[in-house]
Amino acid sequence: MRVDWRLFLFPLPALALITFFFLLPLAQSFQYAVTNWDGYSATFDYVGVDNFVRAFTQDSLFANALGNNLQFLLIVVIFQTMFSLVLALLLVRNSRGSVLLRALFFFPTILSSVSVGFIWKFVYDPSFGLANSALRAVGLGGLEGSYLGDANTAIIWLAVTQVWFHSGQMMVVFIAGLQNIPRELYEAAEVDGASRWQQFKSITWPLVAPAMTIVVAYTTIQAFKAFDLVLGMVGNPPQTALDILSTRIYTSFANFQYGYAAAESIIFMALIGAVVILQRRVLKFTQAQS
């Protein structure tokens, strides 16, 4: 059967956009990463892998941002995935009440990250914020905190905001996965006398694997790209306790260290890819064991 050659013209506009807006800038990033270009000079010198060596061995701010980001990632992936799965299990039925609650939990997702940052900045304000005011109102003033002002816990409160922001979105993905599981499997398990936990372990958990993979991967990328949320909550550059990789890279660009910032960006991209691949393998292993 002959294939009309004109069919190959249809993907050309998309390929042109991908090449111009993604592949070429990516190639330029690799080029600038081995230079000391400041972003505006007509000339620059090639420095080889010096920028990468500096990031891993000499830049304490980059190491701090990496540590903060990994801690933020761990908290967000665990609690956002767990919370969104619990919500999906509770609201999987298409009743009026469930649909209404889904909409309420999904609502924060439609807000911009900067708006969410400003809202939670008010909530965490130690002087007149909602959190401390609520604690005082119920007689728990002794539990008041400085939240984002406490270097030891600031990244945790940032993670709480991220979980509140995106759990409803991930809930929808889980609901779609749960509703694709044949009901007959649960009915057969009930006839065999399986408990709710046994049904979850043997039916729900293995069959919700595709949705779980999407949720964990997307949550990971969100946790690495929380720049706008940090910007809305504490401004840029943030204090050291809230400096993550995206804000650190932006700061390098703002300081006209374009070559070094490009190297940081490549490390950032490689790290996201490595973490997502590792997560997929762990999920496959754990679900194969269930």
Whether the bond into 182 is cis, omega within 30 of 0: no
- What distance in Å separates the CA atoms of residue 128 and residue 221, rounded to the nearest whole number? 33
Provide long-range contacts, Cβ within 8 A and 24+ apart, for 153-159: 154/239, 154/241, 154/242, 155/68, 155/71, 155/72, 155/75, 155/241, 155/242, 156/75, 157/124, 158/72, 158/226, 158/229, 158/230, 158/233, 158/242, 159/72, 159/75, 159/76, 159/79
Is residue 209 situated within a structural domain?
A: yes
How many domains does the structure of the chain reveal? 1
Is residue 36 situated within a structural domain?
A: no
Is residue 129 situated within a structural domain?
A: yes
**Max Cα–Cα distance, the chain, nearest Å:** 79
Tens-binned pLDDT, residue by residue, of the chain (290 aa): 677 778 888 899 999 999 999 999 989 999 999 999 988 888 889 999 999 999 999 999 999 999 999 999 999 999 999 999 999 999 998 888 999 999 999 999 999 998 999 999 999 988 888 889 998 888 887 888 888 888 899 999 999 999 999 999 999 999 999 999 888 898 898 888 888 888 888 888 888 888 988 899 899 988 998 899 998 888 877 888 999 999 999 999 889 999 999 999 999 999 998 988 888 888 777 766 65
Is residue 5 situated within a structural domain?
A: no
- What distance in Å separates the CA atoms of residue 251 and residue 232, rounded to the nearest whole number? 16
SS3 for 136-176 is HHCCCHHHCCCHHHCCCCHHHHHHHHHHHHHHHHHHHHHHH
Q: For 69-103, write each residue's pLDDT tens digit.
A: 999 999 999 999 999 999 999 999 888 899 999 99
Is residue 78 situated within a structural domain?
A: yes
Q: What are phi and psi of 46, to 5 degrees?
A: -85, 130
Residue 54 pLDDT: 94
- Region of 203 please: left (phi>0), alpha (psi -120 to 50) or beta: alpha
- What distance in Å separates the CA atoms of residue 186 and residue 205, rounded to the nearest whole number? 13
Range of the domain at 143: 61-289
Is residue 12 situated within a structural domain?
A: no
Is residue 92 situated within a structural domain?
A: yes
Dihedral of alpha carbons 215, 217, 222, 223, sign: positive
- What distance in Å separates the CA atoms of residue 130 and residue 121, rounded to the nearest whole number? 10
Q: For 148-174, write each residue's pLDDT tens digit.
A: 888 899 999 999 999 999 999 999 999
The enclosing domain of 259 has a CATH number of 1.10.3720.10
Is residue 9 situated within a structural domain?
A: no
